[in-house]
Amino acid sequence: MQDTVQRWIRCNYRSDYSNDVSSSFKYHVFLSTKGYRSLIYSGDHDMVVPSMGTQAWIRALNYSIVEDWRSWHVDGQVGGYTRTYSNGMTFATVKGAGHIAVEHKSHECSVMFKRWINQESL
């Protein structure tokens, strides 16, 4: 069998990517109008995409606030803060987590996701 790859290149910039999603805004709006719920979360120590930036993105959606800020808890400790919006959107911060929240706070993220998927209050 003859090899098809002549030379392995660690970073190949010749990939044929023809589409780049510069914003997920319109996709989120479309899906939310179809009745899909969403959980958007940010680590409160995320320096890559700070939670304030995520909140600005959410404000741009112009959804009504259904439930204002409150803390959510795991094992008697504050896991973060959450706010619920119309169109089935929940935003949550994960206390003490960075950019990859589940890497830093796996237990808290697991509890948060299980509650959300089961349509329970965070």
Question: For domain 35-117, which CATH number applies: 3.30.2320.50, 3.40.50.11320, 3.20.20.70, 3.40.50.300?
Answer: 3.40.50.11320
pLDDT of 12 higher than 90: no
**Secondary structure in 3-state letters for the chain:** CCCCCCCCCCCCCCCCCCCCCCCCHHHHHHHHHCCCCEEEEEECCCCCCCHHHHHHHHHHHCCCEEEEEEEEEECCEEEEEEEEECCCEEEEEECCCCCCHHHHCHHHHHHHHHHHHCCCCC
Least confident of 7-11, 40-44, 89-93, 113-117: 7-11
For 20-61, write each residue's pLDDT tens digit: 657 888 888 999 999 999 999 999 999 999 999 999 999 999
Region 84-92: mean pLDDT is 96
pLDDT: is 72 or 20 the higher one? 72
